[in-house]
Amino acid sequence: MRRLALLFFLAVCLAAGVAGWGWHEYSRPGPLDESTTVFIEQGSGARAISHALAEAGVVRERLAFLAAVRIRDDHGRLRAGEYIFPAHASLRSVIDKLVAGDTIVRRLTIAEGLTAREALAAIERADGLVGPVPPVEEGTLLPDTYHYSRGDSRAELVERMQRAMATTVERLWAARPPDLPLATPSELVTLASIVEKETGVAEERSRVAAVFINRLRKGMPLQSDPTVVYALERDGTALDRPLLRSDLAFDSPYNTYGNGGLPPGPIANPGLASLEAVIRPVESDELYFVADGSGGHAFARTLAEHNRNVRRWRQIRQKK
């Protein structure tokens, strides 16, 4: 009995020692001298993850990591992705981060007024995305800042942008005033894209939108310079010069000098503010606007008033 009691006591001491050592290894500061980034591939199991962490110097021993994961019953809960582990991260905090999926969040901003070609080029250049960029129609991507993780597909990000635009347009179209001279949601996006390209001044958007809506109601051509620029750039070549008077006669359905009504489609991806400006334009009987030399525009109700504004703008331009 004494011998059995001694063996039991020794076993308890050994178990306590092992448990104490295990807790020490589990909770003590890790081997990293400085923070480091580790990418865990999709489909990686606990063994593959332990190899990646050991190679990066995040954990001291692979077996200690595997044992801790097994004891916690977390072997099926470790998530793939790109992680940044701080200096001296403990084994416990490393596993917590992997279970929580606390990955690095990347950001991509698609600015208002980019064409589909420009937006797709930005997505192509975005670090960490994978796969090809799918073709898209003009005006179907909602400008915004989008979050993603390394390894996400470009096609999935494009789909998110398209869903965001479709949802936004559907919501705004349902709230449109009954007298808005637009027949379809596509026409809403088209006019908003022209407003987007015409002014970068937030306070002017609804006023610019009102001018175009007034012209549509009167059957006047929109005469928007950005539509001519878009027509000239349709072959993919950027226009690196100011518009010439001769350009206004360029033969294209997108040329709103030579054609009445809206062009056949958007000329860029309009942002939310420009879409809202078309849905809620200011009350106005203005029909014209021209640059005023300060970054904004001078608006006019009559052609005579507009011609005076044009002469003033030309004088400013000549002085510059």
Q: How far apart are CA 66 and CA 223, in angstroms?
A: 69
Whether 4 is covered by a domain: the verdict is no
Phi, psi of 31 (to 5 degrees): -80, -10
Single out the residue in 121, 142, 164 at which a domain terminates: 164
Q: Is the pTM of this model over 0.75?
A: yes
Q: How far apart are CA 82 and CA 89, in angstroms?
A: 16
The answer to whether residues 141 and 96 belong to one domain is no
The answer to whether residues 188 and 271 belong to one domain is yes
Whole-number pLDDT of residue 10: 46
pLDDT tens digits, 117-134: 999 999 999 999 999 999
Whether 211 is covered by a domain: the verdict is yes
Q: Which helix (H) or strand (E) holds 161?
A: helix 154-174
The answer to whether residues 202 and 307 belong to one domain is yes
Q: How far apart are CA 74 and CA 230, in angstroms?
A: 55
Whether 159 is covered by a domain: the verdict is yes
Q: How far apart are CA 284 and CA 217, in angstroms?
A: 13
- Range list of β-strands (E), the chain: 36-40, 81-85, 106-110, 144-148, 288-291, 297-300
Whole-number pLDDT of residue 16: 43
Whether 19 is covered by a domain: the verdict is no
Within a 13 Å sphere around the CA of 82, how many CA atoms are in the beta-carbon half?
12
The answer to whether residues 117 and 221 belong to one domain is no
Using left for φ > 0, alpha for ψ between -120 and 50, and beta otherwise, residue 5 falls in alpha
Domain of residue 125, residue span: 106-164
Tell me the helix, strand and coil percentages in the chain, rounded to 5: 50, 10, 40
Which of the residues in the chain have pLDDT under 70? 1-24
- What is the token pair recorded at 142? 């909602």
- Residue 40 burial by CB count (10 A; 0-12/13-18/19+): exposed, middle or buried? buried
Computed from CA positions of residues 148, 153, 154, 159, in that sequence, does the dihedral angle turn out positive or negative? negative
Whether 21 is covered by a domain: the verdict is no
Single out the residue in 100, 119, 151 at which a domain terminates: 100
| CA distances in angstroms from 205 to 9, 79, 184, 210, 233, listed in the order given | 83, 45, 21, 9, 24
Whether 17 is covered by a domain: the verdict is no
Strands 81-85 and 106-110: unpaired
Question: How many domains are there within the chain?
Answer: 3
